[in-house]
Amino acid sequence: MEYIRPPFRIDVAGTFLLPQELRNAQMQYRNEQISMVTLRAIEDAEIRNLVDKLKTIGLKVVTDGRFRNVFWPLDFMWNLEGIQAHDERKNSIKLIGRIDFHHHPVLDDFMYLTGVTGGDVIAKQVLPAPSLLLSELLKEDARDQLLTIYPNEEDLLADIACAYQKLIQELYESGCRYLQFDDTTRVVTSTAVRVNNMALKEHPEDLFIAFHAPTEMLSSVEGVNSFLLDYDDESCGKTSLLWFIREQKATFGFIPSHYPLPSELDEIYEAIDEVTPYISLDRLSLCVPNAQVLPYEDYDTALKKQWKTLDMAMVAAKNLWPDK
């Protein structure tokens, strides 16, 4: 079997809309109508279905769609040592001790995902970036606990970085070879850049790292193989990042920030033409954005558009890279 390795002409940012059966199951679980075991079995089945659909379309990279994450990224953070949900609220984190990593449910989730992919695709694990965790800890309602446990900010950054390094190594030993970090918050600080670089320091050489973030973060983060940018988002400085990537060996992931209509394919091609003076086409990836339901849409319509967009991406890829 051919070894599958990124970058790919068509990639996915990682999040897909929940199938209706899984949405129902999550509601039933919250209402204590089904057990966690039953919910987990439904998640397993829907993740397998998602992988099968993505493979049928022709993608070489798959994710679990974040089908297990009801409160992402907070539910990832709650499972790190020293962090828990803030009382009954599900919209924040509470620091109860020094941050560390021993075992995390994401490892079991990845093992299931890679077990259903087969040898003709690669499983990509998507994680919230260390900087996203830092920004949650620095929020006003968490500051008192933070200063009590971490009076020295350098100790905080070191513990976050160390926890991520341990997790990265565990994922690698579990077979992960494609890891993506997400932090699309628009305020980028020097401290946020530092903690990301500390966490990514000395990761395994054959672990492909993608980073999905605004321009200011991407132009400063180190040890990255692919830069993923929501290219038509007005908050992103396109030209400065393209000049930066031009000097790197990394690839550039072109992410439209909305799901285009078939009539808008020409606009995608025109936008890609803006990129190629800076980066050659062979260093460019077309990345399908995270799924979303727009305010004026019903859920079923958004689901159909999600799959239509993937079909359109394959058409665009064949036009852009006819020999691949």
Q: Per-residue pLDDT tens for 87-144?
A: 655 678 889 999 999 999 999 999 999 999 988 899 999 999 999 999 999 987 778 8
pLDDT at 65: 97
Q: Is residue 234 scored above 70 in pLDDT?
A: no
In this structure, of 103-112, 151-160, 284-293, the range with the lowest mean pLDDT score is 284-293
pLDDT at 90: 65
- DSSP symbol at 80: S
pLDDT at 116: 95
Domain boundaries, the chain: 10-19+58-319
Q: Where are the alpha helices (DSSP H) in the chain?
A: 20-30, 36-57, 74-78, 105-117, 130-137, 143-149, 153-173, 190-200, 215-218, 238-246, 265-275, 299-320
The residue-averaged pLDDT of 75-80 equals 95
The residue-averaged pLDDT of 155-184 equals 97
pLDDT tens-digit readout, 261-285: 777 788 888 888 988 998 999 999 9
pLDDT at 47: 98
pLDDT tens-digit readout, 34-74: 999 999 999 999 999 999 999 999 999 999 999 999 889 99
How far CA 7 is from CA of 132, 139, 212, 290, in Å, comes to 24, 35, 14, 18
Q: Closest Cα to residue 202, out of 171, 178, 166, 236? A: 166
| Cα separation, 215 vs 224, whole angstroms | 14
Q: Could you tell me which residue, 48 or 316, shows the higher pLDDT?
A: 48
Two structure tokens written together for 121: 């695709």
pLDDT at 262: 72
Q: Is residue 299 scored above 50 in pLDDT?
A: yes
pLDDT at 2: 47
pLDDT at 17: 96
pLDDT at 270: 87
Q: Is residue 32 scored above 80 in pLDDT?
A: yes
The amino acid at residue 204 is P
In this structure, of 45-54, 115-124, 199-208, 246-255, the range with the lowest mean pLDDT score is 246-255
Domain 10-19+58-319 is of which CATH architecture? Alpha-Beta Barrel (3.20)
pLDDT at 259: 66
Query: Cis omega (within 30 of 0) on the bond before 7?
Result: yes
Mean pLDDT of the chain: 91
The residue-averaged pLDDT of 236-257 equals 82
Up-side HSE of residue 313: CA atoms within 13 Å toward CB? Answer: 26
- DSSP symbol at 290: P
In this structure, of 10-19, 20-29, 288-297, the range with the lowest mean pLDDT score is 288-297
